Amino acid sequence: MPDAVLVAALRTPIGTAFKGSLRDTTAHQLADRIVTAVAEGLDPDLVDDVVLAESHYGGGVIARHAAVTAGLTQVPGVALNRHCAAGLAAVQTAAASVRAGMDRLVLAGGVNSASTAPKLSFRDVEGPWVPPSHPDRPDAPNLDMSITVGWNAAVRAGITREEMDDWALRSHRNAVRALDEGRFKDETVSVETPHGPFEADEHPRRDTSAERLAALKPLHPEIEGFSITAGNACGANDAAAAVAVADAGLGLPALAIVRSWASVAADPAETGLTPVLAIPKALRRAGLDLDDVDLFEINEAFASVAVAAVRRLGLDPDAVNVNGSGCSLGHPVAATGTRMVVSLVHELRRRGGGVAVAAMCAGGGMGSALVLEVPAP
């Protein structure tokens, strides 16, 4: 079985949805930009497929549109959805095809434009319709992740409002430091927009503080003790990210090796705890354990998700989300999983190599994790 290696890993800067720099840039335009960038320098005749996560976009196969734009007219495309973990699933799908010997070079990633996503309609439903992630019920409403994911995870793991706010503040500080130190420079490609070139993540807040986070009102004040706020939750965001996954036998310079992955599921009310299940399962498949991992990124759909995973798995917080995550960088849903992979690869290369795990929960009680080994540059 050939090794699946990453030979390119890039992302766009992350925009704040509806009011940020990418507010008038469509998912197709973002996909065109990132696929073209990740394909640069690769032999078009070697590219077998393009796999892009679209999450809720619902058809059109943006991957094929991006392939044609990138000049890969002989390359097909496929759209993928695993809710929040869709971008991670795209990388896993590409790696599986390469390891199976079916494909030798696949471009994989995800694209999200909350700002320009089309409004869906459904018979007998007034106003916009959103596809449900699971059957609706009071303890796990399918259209309110602040309860289903954030609050339920906090209650089950015994996480306080103060702990979540502290984690969110840390996330912003880590992201701002990473921006100021140029840690994202090698992984980010600019996007031309109607408002000019967009070159750096805009969602992290330099001016946030413990006092400001503590002053925010809970999203559900009618629920006693409810502790989820806009400050300890992720943002709504726009971005794209992609990697090139190759058969190691092609001899292309490898940035990272995909060692293993795993997806899991639990009761929808325990969605926010699924990284606790996915991380050990993925590591077992690689013959590794938690002590072998140098860096983790656990998506901060809500701060409670990352805090719960750190607590239940006994992780060193200093090895988790070192350059920020959902609370600060934002959560461009279909792109986030790939964005995490891209950021981990470049951060570990900066540190001289090692093992990394990207993990996240996903709507409907799902979760996923992927294990990477990054050789020393």
Name the residues annotated as catalytic. Answer: 84, 331, 361
Nearest-Å Rg of the Cα atoms of the chain is: 19
Which tokens is 287 given? 């013959």
Nearest to 226 by CA among 303, 161, 311, 304: 161
Are 160 and 227 a contacting pair, CB within 8 Å?
A: yes
Do 238 and 23 form a contact (C-beta atoms < 8 A)? yes
User: Alpha-carbon distance 141 to 132, whole Å?
Assistant: 9
Q: Which two tokens stand for residue 76?
A: 């097909």
What span, in angstroms and rounded, lies between the C-alpha atoms of 242 and 232? 27
Neighbours of 184 (CB within 10 A): 22
Q: CA–CA separation, 95 vs 105, rounded Å? A: 9
In 3D space, the residue among 350, 375, 315 whose CA is nearest the CA of residue 359 turns out to be: 315
Residue 315 in tokens = 């992780």
Which among 273, 277, 275, 312 has a CA at the least distance from the CA of 296? 275
Strands 105-113 and 237-247 come out as antiparallel
Would you mind telling me the total number of residues written for the chain in this entry?
377
The candidate with the shortest Cα–Cα distance to 292, out of 347, 355, 348, 359, is: 355
- Look up tokens 């790939």; give the residue: 338
Residue 328 φ/ψ, nearest 5 degrees = -115, -60
How many other CB atoms are there within 10 angstroms of residue 137's CB atom? 11
Say which residues have a Cβ less than 8 Å from residue 45's Cβ, sequence separation at least 6.
74
